Amino acid sequence: MKKLLIVLFLTLLSVSFASLVVYSYDSFLPVAESAFYEFTLQTGIEVEFRTVGDSGTLISLVLANRERFDGDVIIGIDNLLSFRAFREDIFIPYIPRGYDKIISPDLLIDPQWRLTPYDFGAIAIIYDSSAVEKNIDSMWDLTDRSFRRSIIIQDPRTSSTGQAFLLWTYLLHGERFEEFWRAFKPSILTITLGWGESFQKFESGEAPIMVSYATDGAYSTHYYGEQLYAVLIPEGKGYVQIEGAGIVRWTDKLEEAQKLIDFLLTESFQKHIPLNQWMFPVIDLEMPEVFDHAVRPESILKIADDVSIEELIAKWEEIIYER
Amino acid sequence: MLLISLAAVAAVVLPLFLSFGITDLDIIAETLSNRSFSRIAMFTVKQALISTILAMIVGLPAAIYFARSRGVVSRLLGITTYIPFFFPGISMAIGFLSVYGRNGLLNDILSMLGLQRVQILYTFGAILLGHVFYNAPIVVLILGNALRKIPLELIENSKIDGAGRMRILFNVELPLVTPALVNSALLIFSYCFTSFAVVLILGGAQFATLEVSIYMYFRLLGRPQAATVLALVQFLFIVLFGVFILLTERKVQFEYGDQFIEKRAVIRGYSVLFLMFEWLPIIGAFATSVYDWNRGELIFSRISTLFSGRIASIGTTLANTLFNSLFLSFLAGGITSSISFALALKARTIPGGAKHLKVISLIALSVTPSMLAISYLSVLDFIPVPFLMVMLYTVLSLPIALNYINGQVQSVELNFIEAASLDGATRFSRFRYIIFPLFRGSLLYAATIVFAISMGEFGGSLILGAQDFPTFTVAIYRLNSSRHFLEARFLSTVLGLIVVTMVSISQRFVESSEKRIHSSS
């Protein structure tokens, strides 16, 4: 009987002190390291943080395990990948405390609140102003013959920036999407695996223009002490990548998970976003000075629920492979 | 052989299908009926075939020189054989830019000569260039080492019989090393078929391969089942090529003898050019990793922070990641070369065993490391992470280790072992005093290749060891993704230097081991 009581006590102890298991993509690590320490101090809840490469891989891991998946919260599903996550019914709805502090309704990923947004950033065109003489006022200007083989973009099949750019062009041009890509194709020098490869080529002088982030000016000022390249969102209409966090359907620590989602919308967490993620926080916050060099879109283009990214990629592939 | 097939299935196929098993047949139809599928599949086959032929042609003279000489050039060729396994994509991209880019060395020379700069990169030719760069050293590695083993007497007898140099090469030497020729072609085809970084970095997405689609489904769209279908298609293509090429293989065995040495200026000159072709991008990558050309400054002040203890963007100290990499890679090297050796020896005793082994070993090449790692995490989560990582490295490096060792083991006549057995030598003493000393050099060589592959692997390491066992490549990846490009480039060079140093040390051992065998025989 005594032994039984000890086992029972130890079991209860292990349940009450079990950590909240939080999964994210790998580059979220610096934010997690600094922010979750504060969360534990505030709530007494320990966080066990795990990373699995990138967000798509993370979804693949959840689908491979489903109810056996040991995570309670997933951080880092963007508005594009959210369609896939919702279709697979991975998250449960939860309206967090402080939801009314979110600066714009355009930043809400899901009306059912299966994902809570915690940061956002726009895609932009960056260029070497000493090498580009012609004004770029709209995306169509980039189809001009003078820009032939001058632009580096990312592959939408391998890069989230590439996917975001594809969607941006779709949202800007709608039915003329395919016409735009046929006209734009001769301006492309190469299509890279990811953003890093593009930047490497851009920096080496392979091409004067590339698709990048609207916060590049801020990053460059912070890291190199000067803004090296001009940043542009044609017509001010930006496609915004919004990242969200959700509570996993199979969690047995619902209350703790809800507290973590609440925490994501507090200043204690949001202050870590700008200089780690190079994105914008979703609540009003005093920003680091270097963010004066970041470009905010004047208006945000939203994706409709019925847009199939796979269909868009298929159309894009056909145009790219046309001779 | 049944046991080997079962082991391969247990290590690769089983976790994959238990994790992402294709339960819905519609997924197969949907994936394969994608409008771009046939075009991408055709391009994948075409570029792999052309690349294989070119890599074999470019690598053959260098392999012959490597086999027939012992000087500095030959030693450098030996180190060059490791390039495909330690030169990571991030360094390759910057290395190729510095040589073939718009502002690269070649274009600067053209410009100095008053000629127009040319666009070398982002073309089909650039992909072939990249594949030859990465795969011609495999010809030197496998074929060169097999040619080295042809005994001096065989070639001298041919000379006495009046055969010329070319006739000896085509009628005596190459037929004797057919298994190595087949092994090289099979491996190169498989590597080119599943090529990903080279195609996208040097060519661009308009030249995408099936591997790009697998990456898309698995890592971007979160559709692992569709990725599994394509991985299966990849494997079928590779097996088809494997079966076709293995039909041409003839097994000719010869006794171990002295290395045939000859001096030929033309082939030496070619080998020097080959070395330049291989090393210029590496030197370019090295120069760019210590000097920031855009800002005209050395980057040492930036990288000093890497050595000041715990780094937030890496999540641990650099020393810890280096220790993890070295520990796991050494372990993988020992285990994989031992398994390969045991399998190759066993295959000698079974009719068709060696061929069977080659095809089975290619399963691992059809699966991307990240898919394999996720399947291990979900099916084998009871195994501690370091063991899973070593298992992953073993599976990924088994094709090359097995093919290399198989090439060595199958070519040598081992009748004297039976004689030793008749003389009463036990199985242990036969292994201890005959077999192991005979193949010690080959084993060490294979272990070093596995070590290099494991040191350079990051896709699977990032998933399996991100928390508890971050490796050196994970540190590079994390610096790169937190936009610390200069630091990441520098560490890539450090990684290369570590591997080259280890390779050089191991080569010394191989040479001294071979000398011992020669003197004792």
3-class SS at B76?
helix
- Say if residue A177 is in the same domain as residue A316: yes
Two structure tokens written together for A42:
């505030």
- Say if residue B388 is in the same domain as residue B444: yes
Indicate if the alpha-carbon torsion angle B439, B440, B443, B448 is positive or negative.
negative
Residue B506 lies inside a defined structural domain of this protein:
yes
- Say if residue B118 is in the same domain as residue B49: yes
- Say if residue A245 is in the same domain as residue A309: no
How is residue A46 annotated by DSSP? Answer: -
- Say if residue B313 is in the same domain as residue B164: no
Residues in chain B within 8 Å Cβ distance of A308: none
The whole-model pTM stands at 0.78
- Say if residue A99 is in the same domain as residue A71: yes
Residues in chain B within 8 Å Cβ distance of A158: 200, 205, 212, 215-216, 219-220
**What gap in Å lies between CA B242 and CA B354, rounded to an integer?**
12
Q: CATH number, domain at A135?
A: 3.40.190.10
CA distance A6 to chain B (A): 26
Q: Chain A contact for B117, CB < 8 A?
A: no
Residue B28 lies inside a defined structural domain of this protein:
no
Chain centroid to Cα B441, Å, comes to 18
**Which candidate from B19, B97, B102 shows the least CB-CB separation from A64?**
B19
Tell me what pLDDT residue B294 has.
66
- Can you tell me which residue has the tokens 């060891």? B465
- Full pLDDT tens readout for chain B, 521 residues: 566 666 766 777 777 777 766 666 777 777 788 777 888 888 899 999 999 999 999 999 999 999 888 888 988 998 888 777 767 666 777 788 889 988 888 998 998 998 888 888 888 999 999 999 999 999 998 889 888 878 777 778 888 887 787 888 888 888 888 878 888 888 898 888 888 778 877 887 777 788 878 877 777 677 777 888 888 888 888 888 877 777 766 665 555 566 667 777 889 999 999 999 999 998 888 888 777 776 677 777 777 777 777 887 788 899 999 999 999 999 999 999 998 898 888 887 777 777 777 777 777 776 778 778 888 887 888 899 999 999 999 988 888 888 788 777 776 666 777 777 777 777 788 778 878 888 888 888 889 989 988 998 887 888 888 788 899 988 988 887 777 877 888 888 888 888 888 888 887 777 776 666 555 54
pLDDT band at A16 (very low <50, low <70, confident <90, very high): very low
- Say if residue B14 is in the same domain as residue B64: no
Residue B223 lies inside a defined structural domain of this protein:
yes
- Say if residue A79 is in the same domain as residue A114: yes
Provide the number of structural domains found in chain A: 2
Quick: pLDDT tens for A280-314: 999 999 999 999 999 988 888 888 777 888 889 88
Range of the domain at B174: 34-288
Tell me what pLDDT residue A13 has.
44
Residue in A with minimal Cα distance to B121: A190
CA distance A87 to chain B (A): 11
Quick: pLDDT tens for A85-133: 998 999 999 999 999 999 999 899 999 999 999 999 999 999 988 888 8
Residues in chain B within 8 Å Cβ distance of A58: 222
pLDDT band at A10 (very low <50, low <70, confident <90, very high): very low
Q: Which of residues 394-453 of B touch A (CB under 8 A)?
A: none
- Say if residue A312 is in the same domain as residue A177: yes
CA distance B362 to chain A (A): 24
Tell me what pLDDT residue B252 has.
59
Tell me what pLDDT residue A11 has.
46
Quick: pLDDT tens for A245-264: 999 999 999 999 999 999 99
Tell me what pLDDT residue B8 has.
66
Interface size A-B, in CB pairs within 8 Å, comes to: 171
Report whether pLDDT(A82) > 80: yes
- DSSP states of B22-45: ---HHHHHHHHTSTTHHHHHHHHH
Q: CATH number, domain at B387?
A: 1.10.3720.10
Residues in chain A within 8 Å Cβ distance of B480: 196
- Say if residue B138 is in the same domain as residue B239: yes
- Say if residue B281 is in the same domain as residue B316: no
- Say if residue B266 is in the same domain as residue B313: no
Range of the domain at A282: 5-120+241-293
Residues in chain A within 8 Å Cβ distance of B213: 157
Residues in chain A within 8 Å Cβ distance of B22: none
Of B288, B317, B351, the position where a domain reaches its end is B288
Q: Determine whether the interchain pair A64/B224 forms a contact, defined as Cβ–Cβ distance below 8 Å.
A: yes
- Say if residue A92 is in the same domain as residue A149: no
**Which candidate from B201, B462, B463 shows the least CB-CB separation from A193?**
B201
- Say if residue B262 is in the same domain as residue B384: no
- Say if residue A227 is in the same domain as residue A276: no
Provide the number of structural domains found in chain B: 2
ipTM confidence: 0.71
Tell me what pLDDT residue A218 has.
92
Is the model more confident about A138 or about B58?
Answer: B58
Q: Chain B contact for A87, CB < 8 A?
A: no
Residue B296 lies inside a defined structural domain of this protein:
no
- Say if residue B274 is in the same domain as residue B415: no
Mean pLDDT (chain A) is: 88
- Say if residue B104 is in the same domain as residue B12: no
Quick: pLDDT tens for B37-47: 888 888 899 99
Q: Chain B contact for A321, CB < 8 A?
A: yes
- Say if residue A67 is in the same domain as residue A113: yes
- Say if residue A231 is in the same domain as residue A147: yes
Residues 6+ apart with CB under 8 A from B399: B187, B190, B361, B362, B364, B365
CB A227 within 8 A of CB A217: yes
Q: Chain A contact for B212, CB < 8 A?
A: yes
**What gap in Å lies between CA A104 and CA A122, rounded to an integer?**
14
- Say if residue A93 is in the same domain as residue A21: yes
Nearest to B270 by CA among B14, B36, B66: B66
Residue B29 lies inside a defined structural domain of this protein:
no
Q: Using CB atoms within 10 A of its CB, is residue B33 exposed (0-12), middle (13-18) or buried (19+)?
A: exposed
- Say if residue A129 is in the same domain as residue A222: yes
- Say if residue A186 is in the same domain as residue A303: yes
Q: Determine whether the interchain pair B466/A54 forms a contact, defined as Cβ–Cβ distance below 8 Å.
A: no
**Which candidate from B34, B103, B480 shows the least CB-CB separation from A196?**
B480
Quick: pLDDT tens for B12-40: 777 777 776 666 677 777 778 877 788 88
B108-112: which pairs have CB atoms within 8 A and are 24 or more residues apart? none
Of B246, B261, B288, the position where a domain reaches its end is B288
Q: Determine whether the interchain pair B119/A149 forms a contact, defined as Cβ–Cβ distance below 8 Å.
A: yes
Q: Determine whether the interchain pair A192/B204 forms a contact, defined as Cβ–Cβ distance below 8 Å.
A: yes
Tell me what pLDDT residue A12 has.
44
**What gap in Å lies between CA A208 and CA A210, rounded to an integer?**
7
Q: Which of residues 465-504 of B touch A (CB under 8 A)?
A: 466-467, 474, 477-478, 480-483, 485
- Say if residue B266 is in the same domain as residue B324: no
Q: Determine whether the interchain pair A26/B375 forms a contact, defined as Cβ–Cβ distance below 8 Å.
A: no
Tell me what pLDDT residue B344 has.
85
Q: Which of residues 364-393 of B touch A (CB under 8 A)?
A: 370-371, 374-375, 377-378
Of B288, B315, B342, the position where a domain reaches its end is B288
Q: Chain A contact for B93, CB < 8 A?
A: yes
Report whether pLDDT(A7) > 50: no
Chain centroid to Cα A129, Å, comes to 27
H or E element, residue B120: none
- Say if residue B249 is in the same domain as residue B319: no
Is the model more confident about B351 or about A175?
Answer: A175
Q: Determine whether the interchain pair B467/A50 forms a contact, defined as Cβ–Cβ distance below 8 Å.
A: yes
**Which candidate from A52, A160, A200 shows the least CB-CB separation from B93?**
A200
Q: Which amino acid is at B401?
A: A
Q: Determine whether the interchain pair A56/B36 forms a contact, defined as Cβ–Cβ distance below 8 Å.
A: no
Q: Determine whether the interchain pair A30/B313 forms a contact, defined as Cβ–Cβ distance below 8 Å.
A: yes
pLDDT > 70: percent of chain A:
94
Report whether pLDDT(A9) > 60: no
